[in-house]
Amino acid sequence: MSYAAVADVAALEDSALWDPAVGTPSSADVTGWLTTESTVLDGQIGHMVEVPVVLADSPNFYSVLAEIVIKRVYARVTTVRYGSDAAMRETARDLRKEADAMLAHILKGATGDGVALTSGRPESPGVPIGNFGTTPTTDLGHKLTLGGDV
């Protein structure tokens, strides 16, 4: 599951300069990065909200997550396409910093929907939203597994 599509990333670059269907990086590269970055982001916010965030349930928050993923992936595209250009390397760093700043706000409790990231119920104030009824375990292959319905 990804919070963005190749077209979202490609929209940031002049189509005369880069077409992911035929250029480098390819659509397959960008799709893989989108999936990876979305999964990483879910891991970063998963202790606060139920992931993946569903567009229909939280459209504004979803759009913030999409923007973070797009910035992170476009930073990768920029690095691949313009790796030797100092100004473009700086652009890629700035994109990552912007994405990190957006994530920092989320981790402090901000969401795009103005909804607190805790349940707010009197019987459990401050309890994170999401399914936390199971204890994570690891196997010898170092893969994180969760019991119960996740």
Give the span between the Cα atoms of 80 and 29, in whole angstroms: 11
pLDDT score recorded for residue 126: 46
Which residues, other chains included, contact 55 with Cβ-Cβ below 8 Å and sequence gap of 6+? 62
pLDDT digits (tens, 9 = 90+) for 22-42: 889 999 999 999 999 999 999
Which residues, other chains included, contact 113 with Cβ-Cβ below 8 Å and sequence gap of 6+? 58, 59, 60, 61
Mean pLDDT over 97-120 rounds to 72
pLDDT digits (tens, 9 = 90+) for 112-123: 554 445 444 445
